[in-house]
Structure 1
Amino acid sequence: MDLTFAHFIALLPLLVTTGTAIAVMLLIAWKRNHRIAYIASVAGLLLALLSIQPALEAAPLDVTALLRMDAFGYFYTALLLVATLTCITLAHAYLGRKPGEGGFPGNREELYLLMLLSASGGIVLVTSQHLAALLIGLELLSVPVYGLAAYAFFNRHSLEAGLKYMVLSAAGSAFLLFGMALLYAESGSLDFVGIGISLGTGEFAPLVQAGMVMILVGLGFKLSLVPFHLWTPDVYQGAPAPVAAYLATASKVGVFVVLVRLYQLSPATYGGWLDSTLSVIAIASILIGNLLALQQNNLKRLLGYSSIAHFGYLLIALIASSGLAGEAIAVYLVTYVLTTLGAFGVVALMSSPFKGRDADALFEYRGLFWRRPYLTAVLTVMMLSLAGIPLTAGFIGKFYILATGVQAQLWWLIGALIIGSAIGLFYYLRVMVTLYLVEPGLMRREPPINWPQRAGGIMLLAITALAFFLGIYPQPLLQLAQAAGL
């Protein structure tokens, strides 16, 4: 096909993001400067966000057979860019100290480059309508994360996290590729719509079922759904806090969105057999994720297990796949990303890479209110939102998932959601109570704060205000979610 000016406009968010990655790479090659690399990254991401508006005017548009640029893709592109922007700001605060003051002892600028490259892969994922684009986007999203997870190379836990994620992610990609090959062998097509036309809605051959299951296994590894979740707590704990925030938010959003598009366009999902499989995975993820989080005294591991449960909740809307499902997925992903970024952001601002490990042990947050009250306020709101307490964004997201399940009469899944939410309430409140405990002789002491940390703190306060605003007045988000329907 011939690419026109309209195609160029439609591709602007992707082009600006990749162009920013190239610009940062050239800046690093020319002269290393942490502040300049950070400013260039932030400016590029903001420009990519602004470019979504003119791109929407050219949509919907197919850019070759690989990418579908539409409101659905642009909504999640914006979410990915906002999550990446927040993680880069947190990374700047995390790495911003001078080496003699507990800063990062190695090169810092490449972290921004890797995040930008990964975000470019996420944009490809959320706009893909072809199995080849799915694989390309997934690898472009995942491969930079290998380096990000092991970025604190002097820390053996970080190296272990990078190695574990690389090995298991490669195994997931192998499953995915094999599943694609089986689907192609049966349908003779690789694009989502073409597969639908070739296979129709009749009985499916074992080859098709095996292909769909293998694709589900590959994506399940990336989303850390049960039973493909074993890498999650170790990688979250070992990776630097801003990287763990990126892995829990932007990385998973890209993978889940392409699963939504594939599930709704592929005929192999019309049969009840895949719904049953996904239902078992959803119930297991909700219950096992929450039960394992109960035992954690490490905040990053707790949030890791919590993320398993949250994507189990999201599977309820995916299985329903009608009525409010699309809107519920959009609302829940926004509220999940918002609150998870806030929670990991507190860990990032409490931590220093020079100390050997992040400040992620729960005892380190005991009495935090008396030392850093604004961080305590942020983490309190994030825990309330993750628990789904009214007047927070998390309540709106969970309400929509519940409404979708009731509308589709998925009673077993609704039961799992209620039980899982009750379990989650306990360990989220346990974190909150720890923040306000008073120990004998405890003195209020506010550590010195430099300007990168102050920028990260402002970002967290903005996230907290947004979590409250969406919990009280969610109408703007609901309108965007409705407009972004597939």
Structure 2
Amino acid sequence: MSATDFLSILPLLIISASAVIAMLLVAIKRNHRVMHAFTVLAFILAFGALFLHPGQLPYVIAPLFVVDAFALFNTGLILVAGLSVLFLSYSYFEQREERKEEYYILLLLATVGGIVLVVSQHFISLFLGLETMSISLYGLIAYLRARERSDEAGIKYLLLAALSSAFLLFGMALVYAESGRMDFTGIGRYLATAGSVPVGVVAGFGLMLIGVGFKLGIVPFHMWTPDIYEGAPLPVAAYIATVSKGSMLVLLMRFYRDIDGYEYTILWWVIAIIAMASMFAGNWLALLQQNVKRLLAYSSIAHMGYILIAFLAGQAAGQEAVMFYLVAYVITSIGAFGVLALLSDKVRDAEDLEDFRGLFWRQPWLAAIFTGMMLSLAGIPLTAGFIGKFYIVAAGVDAGLWLLLVLLVINSVIGLFYYIRIVAMMFQPLDAPQRKPLPFFGIFALTGLMLLLLWLGIYPSSLIAVIRDMVLTMG
């Protein structure tokens, strides 16, 4: 590899090296504050390294990686999401008895996997990135060993993720057996010259879709989602909802574009049916929940269905809608889980609906932030979520996806009920509200996310301009 190659993937190298250094720091002396500060510094340095790219985009590091504006943007999104999770993690783990330092090593390694996914253009790098992230998540989900549900969630994720990886590997093997290629563009060229799609490739794509669908938590591969969200530590649940799902969605977009997936009607209809089922299943099951963690889990299934509508719209408008909605979803999901994390204590997480009764009278600023996050998830005007849904509808109208758009509107109305139910619970009066001090880093992160939420809801043109330039220059 040349010096230019190293500079092109410098954020990935910084996070990878930081994971090794973090292991040495733990071996030398355990100190939660030092580990937290070091990990925050690593994320900040990696984000700064994004602006040091030396060459013309797209830059290919054959055969595994491609670094283009699309990869850089999503790497930045992963790092910002990870940094936000870090700010929420310190106070959450500080009040718990478990050893805390290894959490940051696992978080760094999971981020390595996520970044590898967004720069991948080859089956080998895809699988290495996916497994690096998945194996780290096994430990993160089951990190609070004193909790029975945490161990259960970790074991469930281990078994189901291993099964989905087996499907993914078998699917890649079938595609390679037919095409003789493992790079995305090479597979696309093979399909373009093959005339009809061979049966082996169809079967391979089907098996790969199972593996990808599991990571995205879409129907019918969604059953793990509520149990894992409920059992995982709250910052980890936020990480899974954003970085894990987001990086896999970005990989799917690149693969689908490189193989020109929009040309295959059967593939389009399969994803469309999944999108419809995800919207209805996610929203209807969320209606039944009294546990806010599980409610957010089912809500995430519905939001993946919304994103798939923009994904199916294709062309530049659809890709822009996917990326804007993904940014809005990352902000709101981390913000929502962050409020739960700040309200939790060392005994239990604040996850029952009753825990939010009268929150406005106990913690008015926290209640205002949580209200903003819920309204954004519901798609209420002046929030980033509303603008995201507007762009999905615009892309769907442009592509003529009328059935999917009607179902989106119906499901948005359904979702509005359970989001507003939480907001109403927070404003119920209390006789003697008790306030507790809130950690500085947590409030700082949530305030920043709230400002971003409102800024993108009121003035989205700056982000749209960045996304539009990124889409036009995709390699």
- TM interval, short-chain normalised: over 0.9
Alignment of 1:41-440 (within 5 A): 41-55=39-53, 57-96=55-94, 103-200=95-192, 202-267=195-260, 270-352=263-345, 354-355=346-347, 357-439=348-430
CA spacing shift, 1:333–1:427, aligned 2, 3 Å: same
Runs of 4+ in 1 over 4 A off after TM superposition: none
**What displacement does 1:318 show?**
1.4
The alignment partner of 1:324 has SS state of helix
CA spacing shift, 1:52–1:234, aligned 2, 3 Å: same
**CA distance in structure 2 between the aligned counterparts of 1:329 and 1:213, rounded to whole angstroms:** 23
* TM-score, with structure 2 as normaliser: 0.97
- Paired position in structure 2 for 1:458: 444
The alignment partner of 2:110 has SS state of helix
**What displacement does 1:446 show?**
1.2
The alignment partner of 1:153 has SS state of coil
Number of residue pairs the alignment of both structures matches: 471
* Conserved? CA contact 2:4–2:54, under 8 Å: no
| 1:210-250 Cα distance to aligned partner (Å, 9 max, x none) | 11111111000011100100010011011110000001001
- Paired position in structure 2 for 1:448: 437
**What displacement does 1:484 show?**
1.9
* Conserved? CA contact 1:208–1:268, under 8 Å: no
Identify unmatched segments of 5+ residues in structure 1: 97-102
| 1:373-407 Cα distance to aligned partner (Å, 9 max, x none) | 11101100000100111110111111111111111
**RMSD (CA atoms):** 1.1
Is the deviation greater in 50-59 or in 461-470? 50-59
CA spacing shift, 1:58–1:12, aligned 2, 3 Å: farther
**CA distance in structure 2 between the aligned counterparts of 1:460 and 1:268, rounded to whole angstroms:** 39
Letter in 1 for 2:128: I
**CA distance in structure 2 between the aligned counterparts of 1:268 and 1:456, rounded to whole angstroms:** 42
Letter in 1 for 2:285: L
The alignment partner of 2:60 has SS state of strand
* Conserved? CA contact 1:224–1:308, under 8 Å: yes
| 1:50-69 Cα distance to aligned partner (Å, 9 max, x none) | 11011265532111200001
**CA distance in structure 2 between the aligned counterparts of 1:271 and 1:85, rounded to whole angstroms:** 39
| Identity, % of aligned positions | 48
* Conserved? CA contact 1:69–1:127, under 8 Å: yes
**CA distance in structure 2 between the aligned counterparts of 1:269 and 1:207, rounded to whole angstroms:** 19
* Conserved? CA contact 1:175–1:214, under 8 Å: yes
**What displacement does 1:267 show?**
4.4
* Conserved? CA contact 2:189–2:259, under 8 Å: no
**CA distance in structure 2 between the aligned counterparts of 1:431 and 1:86, rounded to whole angstroms:** 23
**CA distance in structure 1 between the aligned counterparts of 2:429 and 2:260, rounded to whole angstroms:** 58
* TM-score, with structure 1 as normaliser: 0.95
* Conserved? CA contact 1:335–1:397, under 8 Å: yes
- Paired position in structure 2 for 1:32: 30
Letter in 1 for 2:250: V
**What displacement does 1:458 show?**
1.2
